[in-house]
Chains A and B, each alone.
Chain A
Amino acid sequence: MSEVTDSKVRELVEEVYREESRRVLATLIRLLGDFDAAEEALHDAFAVAAEQWIRNGVPSNPRAWLVSTGRFKAIDGMRRRARFDASLTEHAKQLESALYPLEEPDDESIEDDRLRLIFTCCHPALAPEAQVAMTLREVCGLTTEEIARAFLAKPSTIAQRIVRAKGKIRTACIPYQVPSETDLPARLDAVLRVVYLVFNEGYSASSGGSLTRHDLSAEAIRLGRLLVELLPDPETMGLLALMLLHDSRRVARISATGELILLDDQDRSLWNRDQIIEGTILIERAFASNQVGPYTIQAAIAGVHAEAPQPAETNWAQIVALYDLLMQAGPSPVVELNRAVAVAMRDGPLAGLSLIDSILRRGELSNYHLAYAARADFYRRLGRTTEAKASYEQALGLTQQEPERRFLKRRLAELHDYG
C-alpha cells in the first residue's frame, strides 16, 4: 500500500474522530455505564481503526463500527483484568450479557445518547463550573487546555473539576438519562446556559489568534436544534435563533486578513440569509408563546439588526425597547452596557456616555474591555480625542484576543492621524 493512501486513511480517521467521536462516546457511556471506561474504549476503538482501516478499508458505517469495536475492547479488557482480580469476573459477565446480542446501534438511539450525555453533564447536582467543563470536555470534545484558556483558569484546575464531577456522577449515582417531562423545563435552563457558552467559545474564542472556531459554534447550533426538536420550549427556540443570527454574520465580521469588522462596517450581502430566515421564524414562534425570556429577547435584538439593509436604517428605538425588556427579564451590567450603546445610537453619544460612566462608577465592569472600547467610541464621536485615546488604551490593557487588539490599535492609530 502506498504512503499516499496511508496518509489519506489517517486523515480520514482524524476526520471521523472530529465528526463522530463525541457521538460514539455518548453511546459507549450508556453501554459501559462509566465515563472513564467509555473514554478508554473510545481511544482503543480509534487505535484499532487507524490500523485496520489502512488494511481493510473504511467500513460503510464508521460510527456503528466504532461503537461495536469500543464495547468489544472494553469487555476484552475487563476479561483480561478479571483473570487477576476475581471480583471483576462477575462484572465482566454482567457487562457482556448487557451488551449482547450485538444489535447495530441505530442513528436515533445514538442521538438520544448525546442528549443523555448533555443532561448528565449539565446535572444540577454538579457545580455550575463543573457542568460547563464537563459539557465542553465530554459533549464537545475540547481539551482540558482549551477549556482552561476559555475560562482563564489553570488546566490542572479544570482537570480536577472534571475528575470530581465524574466522581460525583458515579458515587451519588447520577443517572444517564434524559429527565422526565416534569423535570425537563428546570433542567433545560442549565443546559441552555452551557450551550450558549459553548457557542460563544466558538464564535469569539477568548484569546489567541483565531477569532472564530466554526466547529464549536456549529456544535452549539446542532445541540440547539436537537433541543428544539426534543422540547420546543420558547427559550430553546430563542437560544437557537440567537445563535443562528449571530452565526449568520460570521463571514462578514472577519476580513480576509483576519481583522474584526464591526456591525456597521460589515458587507451585509455576506450575511447568511438562510440562517436569518430560520432565526426569525424561531423568534416569531417563541414570541407567540407569550413566555419571552432573555435568549429570545437577545435574538429579537439581533433580528432587528438583520432586517436593516443598511446600518442607518436600523430601528434603534425598537432595540432600546427590547433592551428595556431584557433588563426586566435578566438584568446584568453587560446588558446595561449594551443598552447604553443602543441609547447612544438613538439619542447621541453624550447620552450613552453618561450611562456608561455610571456603570463603570459602580465598579462592576471595571475589568471588561468592551466597556472601555464603547466609552472610547463615544468620545471619538464627540471629537474628544484625548479622552478617547485614554479609553482605547484601557481597553487594550484588558483584552488578550489578537483580532480585538488589532482593531483597538487601528482605532488608536486613526485618532493619532486625525487628532
Chain B
Amino acid sequence: MKYLLLVHHDEDAFGKMSETTRKEMLHESVQLTHQLHAKRQYLSASPLQPASTAVLVQVREGKPMVTDGPFVETREQLAGYFLIDAKDLDEATSIAVRVPGARIGTVEVRPLIEISGLPTHECL
C-alpha cells in the first residue's frame, strides 16, 4: 500500500524558530528518508516553498485562470510531503509519527488509489 504523508505546519511559527532548529529538523527529515529507503519504504519526499509562493490554476469555459495563493487558507499550511510504501495504515502512521513536522504541526496520512496505466517512474 502506498500512502502520501502531507506535512502541515504554521509557517509563521516555523519562521520564528531559530535557523539552527529549522536546519536540524530538515536534517532529521532527510535522515528519515534514508532510513525509509533502506527498508524499501521510500518513494519520494520534499519540502515545499511557502504557501505564499503557490499559484492556483483553473480552466473555465476553455479559459485558463491563474490566481495567487494556495487553494485553501488554513491555520497550518502544507509544508512538505513524504510518499511512502507501507504494509498497512498502522505502519504508515508509525512513519508519520517520525516526521519532525508531526511535532510542530500535523501530518495527514492519505492512502493512494492503486491504478494501473500510469507511467512507471525510475524512482518508484
Contacts and interface: CB of A to CB of B under 8 A. Distances in A.
A and B touch in the complex (CB under 8 A): yes
Contacts of B1: 173
Contacts, number: 25
Interface residues on A, range: 10 to 19
Contacts of A171: 111
Interface stretch (B61-69, B72-80, B83-91): B83-91
B90 A183 contact: yes
Contacts of A294: none
A208 B5 CA distance: 47
Contacts of B88: 173-175
Interface string A129-147: 0000000000000000000
A240 to B, nearest CB: 26
A177 interface: yes
A62 interface: no
B90 A174 contact: yes
Nearest to A187: B90
Contacts of B52: none
A172 B90 contact: no
A177 B89 contact: no
Nearest to A125: B89
Interface string B77-112: 000000000011111011000000000000000010
A171 B114 CA distance: 10
Interface in A151-203: 171-175, 177, 179-180, 183
A180 B90 CA distance: 10
Nearest to A177: B90
Of A172, A174, A183, most B-chain CB atoms within 10 Å: A172
Nearest to B86: A173
B89 A173 contact: yes
A183 B89 contact: no
Contacts of A174: 88-90
Contacts of B87: 173, 175
A130 B89 CA distance: 17
Contacts of B111: 171-173
Contacts of A175: 87-91
A180 to B, nearest CB: 8
Contacts of A183: 90, 94
B7 to A, nearest CB: 18
A271 to B, nearest CB: 43
Interface in A108-142: 123, 125
A123 B1 CA distance: 18
B35 to A, nearest CB: 17
Interface string A273-300: 0000000000000000000000000000
A177 B89 CA distance: 11
A179 B90 CA distance: 8
Nearest to B93: A125
B97 to A, nearest CB: 9
B109 to A, nearest CB: 8
Contacts of B90: 174-175, 177, 179-180, 183
A174 B86 CA distance: 11
Q: Which of B87, B90, B93 has most chain A Cβ within 10 Å?
A: B90
A177 to B, nearest CB: 7
B91 to A, nearest CB: 8
A125 B94 CA distance: 13
A315 to B, nearest CB: 45
Nearest to A176: B88
A216 B93 CA distance: 33
Contacts of A180: 90, 94
Contacts of A172: 89, 111
A98 to B, nearest CB: 16
Q: Which of A173, A177, A180 has the most CB of B within 10 A?
A: A173
Given A171-B111, A175-B88, 19 more contacts: A125-B89, A125-B93, A172-B89, A173-B1, A173-B87, A173-B88, A173-B89, A174-B88, A174-B89, A174-B90, A175-B87, A175-B89, A175-B90, A175-B91, A177-B90, A179-B90, A180-B94, A183-B90, A183-B94
A-B interface, 3 closest residue pairs, ranked by CB to CB distance from nearest: A175-B88, A173-B88, A173-B1
14 contacts: A171-B111, A172-B111, A173-B1, A173-B87, A173-B111, A174-B88, A174-B89, A175-B87, A175-B89, A177-B90, A179-B90, A180-B94, A183-B90, A183-B94
